[in-house]
Amino acid sequence: DTGVSQNPRHKITKRGQNVTFRCDPISEHNRLYWYRQTLGQGPEFLTYFQNEAQLEKSRLLSDRFSAERPKGSFSTLEIQRTEQGDSAMYLCASSLALGTNGELFFGEGSRLTVL
Amino acid sequence: QQPVQSPQAVILREGEDAVINCSSSKALYSVHWYRQKHGEAPIFLMILLKGGEQKGHDKISASFNEKKQQSSLYLTASQLSYSGTYFCGTEMISGAGSYQLTFGKGTKLSVIP
């Protein structure tokens, strides 16, 4: 399977704990996005990488969130000191750059539940 | 800037047509359309680049009016498989020169027999 892979698929944690999600994009894709989605809402943009460079970060993203994409391959999204409001589905997507090749391929998502 | 979608929800009988609209207050580079079924990841439908183009795939087509910063998705002769939530994503060029794709809140489409 050469699609976008996300791990873990589900994570239940207690408030205040740190969690980390991993995304493995399609190998030749240089753009990688993280989105957050809550029930009944559209995917909310969190951050975006082109290769290893983090080019955009949502102003809604607090300092507790950090993302990396070392070497322009897989990416990690870490949430420190989790809060109940962080409970959501975290979606990763990858694409080729721009134009008609800009289709986003989404992973299955990592569902976070903060108790 | 999140695009605005309308309607929020629509119920169709098989064979009926529907239009979903997406508008933005910012100049757009492109518009994406995705469909998401319950519990699944969003699936790509089509991209429209600026230039007022129109695209179609089977009985689903879309238009992009760059001047009005609006896009519409047309579903013709709807099938049960069309049910799901449709999201438009608008791609803008940021001040830093990079591209950001922002999704609307979605339009829930239900097709009934």
Res A7 pLDDT > 90:
yes
Sheet containing A65-68, strands listed edge to edge, beginning at the edge strand earlier in sequence: A5-7, A19-24, A75-79, A65-68
Shortest Cα–Cα distance, A51 to chain B (Å): 13
Percent of chain B's residues with pLDDT above 90: 56
CB contact under 8 Å between B47 and A103, yes or no, is yes
Q: What is the mean pLDDT of residues B42-53?
A: 81
Task: Let me know: does B32 contact B88? Beta carbons within 8 Å.
Answer: yes
- For residue B27, the model assigns a pLDDT of 78
Q: Of the given ranges (A18-32, A78-92, B29-43, B45-59), which has the lowest mean pLDDT?
A: B45-59
CB contact under 8 Å between B105 and A41, yes or no, is yes
Q: If interface means Cβ-Cβ distance under 8 Å, which residues of chain B face chain A?
A: 2, 30, 32, 34, 40-44, 47, 49, 87, 89, 91, 94, 96, 98-106
CB contact under 8 Å between A45 and B99, yes or no, is no
Q: What is the mean pLDDT of residues A1-21?
A: 94
Which residues of A are less than 8 Å from B99 in CB distance?
48, 98
CB contact under 8 Å between A102 and B91, yes or no, is yes
Amino acid in position A82: T
Amino acid in position B110: S
- For residue A36, the model assigns a pLDDT of 96
Regarding predicted confidence, which is higher, A61 or A100? A61
Res B28 pLDDT > 90:
no
Res B24 pLDDT > 60:
yes
Give the residue from chain B lying closest to A91, CA to CA: B41
pLDDT, chain B, mean: 88
CA A14 – CA A26 distance, rounded (Å)? 32
CB contact under 8 Å between B32 and A102, yes or no, is yes
- For residue B65, the model assigns a pLDDT of 85
Among partner residues B40, B47, B87, which is closest to A102 by beta-carbon distance? B47
Task: Let me know: does B10 contact B17? Beta carbons within 8 Å.
Answer: no
Res A98 pLDDT > 90:
no
Fill in the DSSP letter of residue A72: G
Task: Let me know: does B35 contact B104? Beta carbons within 8 Å.
Answer: no
At A16-52, the pLDDT tens digits run: 999 999 999 999 898 899 999 998 899 999 998 988 9
CA B53 – CA A7 distance, rounded (Å)? 38
CA A47 – CA A36 distance, rounded (Å)? 10
Sheet containing B4-6, strands listed edge to edge, beginning at the edge strand earlier in sequence: B4-6, B18-23, B70-75, B60-65, B54-57
Give the residue from chain A lying closest to B105, CA to CA: A42
Beta strands in chain B (DSSP E): 4-6, 9-13, 18-23, 30-36, 43-49, 54-57, 60-65, 70-75, 84-93, 99-103, 107-112
- For residue A101, the model assigns a pLDDT of 56
In which band, very low, low, confident or very high, does the pLDDT at B53 lie, cut at 50, 70 and 90? Answer: low
- For residue A107, the model assigns a pLDDT of 95
CA B98 – CA A59 distance, rounded (Å)? 15
Q: How many CB atoms lie within 10 A of CB B88?
A: 30
Q: Is A87 helix (H, G, I), strand (E, B) or coil?
A: coil
At B71-102, the pLDDT tens digits run: 999 999 999 999 999 999 988 766 655 667 88
In which band, very low, low, confident or very high, does the pLDDT at B5 lie, cut at 50, 70 and 90? Answer: very high
